[in-house]
């Protein structure tokens, strides 16, 4: 994901990334126990979906092979899906 500060390791480990997120959250005065790498990933995806309504774009950004996975990941409800469908005329 990110380059490592050590030359023999090409990337930051998942654990190190989690520590960085914890430290960043604490540095801005929030409780680190309420935030993590997964919650940040999910929040970003949810914000993109809410703003665009484009499940396919979110699916690609998350790297999901099936849109069903994205729907479950975001917790898209039937009302959301119907609302989007009604906005599109065929």
Asked whether the predicted pLDDT for residue 23 surpasses 90, the reply is yes
**How many CA atoms are closer than 13 Å to the CA of 86, on its beta-carbon side?**
6
Residues 44-63 have pLDDT tens digits of: 888 998 899 888 999 999 99
64 alpha-carbon distance from chain centroid: 11
pLDDT (mean) for 3-7: 62
**pLDDT for the residue numbered 5:** 63
């Amino acid at each position: 994901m990110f380059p490592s500060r050590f030359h023999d390791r090409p990337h930051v480990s998942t654990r190190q990334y989690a520590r960085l997120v914890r430290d960043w959250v604490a540095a801005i005065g929030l409780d680190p126990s309420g935030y993590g790498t997964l919650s940040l990933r999910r929040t970003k995806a949810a914000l993109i979906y809410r703003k665009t309504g484009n499940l396919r774009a979110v699916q690609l950004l998350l790297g999901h092979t099936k849109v069903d996975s994205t729907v479950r990941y975001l917790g898209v409800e039937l009302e959301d899906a119907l609302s989007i469908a009604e906005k599109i005329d065929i």
